[in-house]
Structure formats: structure tokens, C-alpha cells
Amino acid sequence: MSLREKFARLLDVAQDSVAYWRDIAITDFTRDLHARIQHKGLSHADLAIRLGTSRPYVTRLLSGGNYTLETMVKLAMALDGVIRVHLADRDAVTTHWRDVFVNPSQLSALGRMDSEALRRSSLETINTEPLKAQLSSLVTTALYGDQRGATEKLTSIGALDRPLQELRDTPKSREALAV
Amino acid sequence: MELLSVVGRRCTVLWTEQVLTELNDWGSSKEPKAAMVSLLTKSVPEYGPPLGTKACTSLGDGIFEFRKGEKIGPKVRVLWFYGDTAETRVVCARAFVKTFRKTPPEEIAATRAERRNYMTAMQTETLRIEDGSDLLRKKGQK
């Protein structure tokens, strides 16, 4: 049996299992937690105080597990966030702002773009289409675009801060983000 | 050396035949094995290994472990290493159902041997990679 045949058989059984799809939700949520904690510069002890619980319990929670919806909401509240649950296609991929603008390889590619051009194209195009589609397009450009000169332009990334802030502050962007 | 690949936005996960065979042998460990397949086909290709969480730990010497299974019940482990310096290739070398408290040293040794084979195959250009990403999409759309 070839490797592909073995893989096809493996997927057949795995994707009929609840565990396969549940794991995606758990991993997504755990990643979100870690990213938010890091973004807020909180320690496990800080989070324990916010939750009114012990530090070892927080450490256990953060290492992943079978969360109840109530625990998820409590964690989100402690991190000044909110839980939103949605249904997606099986092959859907979530794109976060942090993935788009924080990932160094993507930033390096975005850094190749002239900041004024980015600001113009972002404000003109993102306002007219669902934000997600436009972000996908930016990511695609960043990931699969021409990589020549990317390193040299890394230093110009700081120039993107203002246009990105402007982009977030436009009424339609806010509206799209709220959807 | 032959490997199967699943390509994602963040990295490519490469599977040895031993990993595919072991995970296909469902036995009484269906739940953790299905969760492991989910990790290796969805999460890791899209976002990279979840280092620092319960699902992924370093064993030292460039060998890492993906872990699935609840506190009580069967536990599945996959030992892996990075296949390139940019850390965009995750090579899953060995899979096994954990029966002892410690990771069996023979599994770590086997992973090191797979790493040597992989490096040799890279240098001698004898590494054959079959892409399985299209199968994942087809199954996901059923």
C-alpha cells in the first residue's frame, strides 16, 4: 500500500471521529489564549488573580484541555475578551490580525511594499469588500509574492504602523471587524 | 527515503511510513489517535507546532514530542524534528501508544536514526516526498 493510500485510509477513519474536529477547537482556543496573554504581557500569576484562582490551575488550563464553555467565557473575561462561536466549512482557515501583521515572515514581505501604496490600496479596497477577503489577499501577496529584496526592506516595517492604525480606525473596517 | 507531506500556510508536515502505519492501527486508542491526526493535518500545517502547550514538548537535542490523550486512558505520542533551518518542515519520525511514564529511549534513538536518514537523503537527493494535501481537501469537502 502506498503512503498516499495509507494516508487516505487514516483520514477516512479520523474524520468520522468527534475527537478529530474537537481538537481543532481546543487548539485554536489555546493558541488564542497564549497570544492574548502574551499581547497583554500577563504572567500566569496575574491571570490567576484576575480569575480568582490558583496559579497551578491557570497553568493547567493554559496547557490545553477539554474546556467547558463556562471556563472559556471566564478566561475570555479575565483577558478582557469575548467568546464568539461560529460554524465554518470543514476546510476553512482562520486568519487573525495577529497572523497577518505580526508574523515576521509576512511582515518582511509586507515591508517590501511602499507604505503609501499599502495605505492607499488598503483603504480603497478593504472598505468595499469583506475585510477577511482583503486580508487573505494581503497575506497571499506576503507569502507567495516576490521575495527579492525582502531582507533589505525589513527595516522599513515601522513605516507601516500608522497606515495600519488608520486602516483599523476606518468606520467600515470597524464594521467588518464587528461582523 | 520516502515521506508523505501535508502542506500548510505556516509549515509542511512530513510523515514517515511508521507514523502512518502506527496511527492507522486504531485498536483501543481511536480518540487520541484521531486528535493526533487532527493536530498533524490541520493545526500544525496552518499555525506551526504548538510549543509551550501540553500538546507539544521538547525532549532535547532537537527532538520534540506531540502528545495527545487524556489523563486517564490511552496516550499517543509522535516524535519529530525540524527538517530545515527555517523551521518550516516538521518531520514526524515515530508514533507510538505510550504505556510507560517515560518516553521510551528506543523511540528517541529511532527518531535520531530517522533524522540521520533524512539528512543523508537530503544531501544525496534521494528524498522522495509524496504530497497528500489534496486528499485532505477532498475528505474535508465530503
More confident residue, A101 or B131: B131
- Residue A32, pLDDT > 80, answer yes
Q: How high is the pLDDT of residue A63?
A: 74
Residue pair B141/A92 in contact by the 8 Å Cβ criterion: no
Pairing of strands B128-131, B2-7: parallel
Q: Mapping DSSP to helix (H, G, I), strand (E, B) and coil, where does residue A36 land?
A: helix
Q: How far is CA A74 from the centre of its chain?
A: 20
For the entire predicted model, the pTM comes to 0.70
pLDDT, mean of residues A151-167: 40
In this structure, what C-alpha cell is assigned to residue B141? Answer: 469537502
More confident residue, A164 or A44: A44
> Is A27 in contact with B139 (Cβ distance < 8 A)?
no
- A96 CB neighbours in chain B (<8 A) are none
More confident residue, A127 or B81: B81
DSSP type of residue A147: -
- Residue B141, pLDDT > 60, answer no
Distance, in Å, from the CA atom of A99 to the CA atom of B127, rounded to the nearest integer, reads 31
Q: How high is the pLDDT of residue A38?
A: 84
Out of A6, A20, A62, the one facing B20 most closely (by C-beta) is A6
Distance, in Å, from the CA atom of B24 to the CA atom of B16, rounded to the nearest integer, reads 13
Residue pair A134/A126 in contact by the 8 Å Cβ criterion: yes
Out of B31, B68, B130, the one facing A4 most closely (by C-beta) is B130
Pairing of strands B63-68, B12-15: unpaired
The distance between the two most distant Cα atoms of chain B, rounded to a whole number of Å, is: 45
Least confident of A150-154, A175-179, B57-61, B101-105: A150-154
- Residue A152, pLDDT > 80, answer no
Residues of B with CB under 8 A from a CB of A: 2-4, 9, 15, 17, 20-21, 23-24, 26, 30-35, 37-39, 41-43, 46-47, 50, 52-55, 68, 70, 130, 132, 135-137, 139-142
Distance, in Å, from the CA atom of B111 to the CA atom of B93, rounded to the nearest integer, reads 6
Out of A20, A30, A89, the one facing B38 most closely (by C-beta) is A20
Least confident of A2-11, A29-38, B87-96: A29-38
By CB atoms closer than 10 A (0-12, 13-18, 19+), residue A43 is: exposed
Q: pLDDT tens digits, residue range B5-60? A: 999 888 999 999 999 999 999 887 888 999 999 999 988 998 889 887 778 999 99
- CA-nearest of A13, A69, A7 to B31 is A13
In this structure, what C-alpha cell is assigned to residue B63? Answer: 527532538
Q: How high is the pLDDT of residue B101?
A: 76
> Is B52 in contact with A14 (Cβ distance < 8 A)?
no
Distance, in Å, from the CA atom of A74 to the CA atom of A80, rounded to the nearest integer, reads 10
DSSP type of residue B104: P
- CA-nearest of B30, B28, B18, B1 to B128 is B1
- Residue B126, pLDDT > 90, answer yes
Residue pair B63/B50 in contact by the 8 Å Cβ criterion: no
Least confident of A11-15, A173-177, B131-135: A173-177
Q: How high is the pLDDT of residue A35?
A: 81
Distance, in Å, from the CA atom of B63 to the CA atom of B81, rounded to the nearest integer, reads 5
Task: Tell me the ipTM for this assembly.
Answer: 0.92
| Distance (Å) from the alpha carbon of B55 to chain A's nearest alpha carbon | 7
Residue pair A86/A114 in contact by the 8 Å Cβ criterion: no
Supply the mean pLDDT for chain A: 67
More confident residue, B117 or B136: B117
- At B127, the pLDDT band (50, 70, 90 cuts) reads very high
Least confident of A96-105, A149-158, A167-176: A149-158
Q: How high is the pLDDT of residue B118?
A: 96
> Is B26 in contact with A13 (Cβ distance < 8 A)?
yes
Residue pair B75/B98 in contact by the 8 Å Cβ criterion: yes
Q: How high is the pLDDT of residue A154?
A: 30
- Residue A10, pLDDT > 80, answer yes
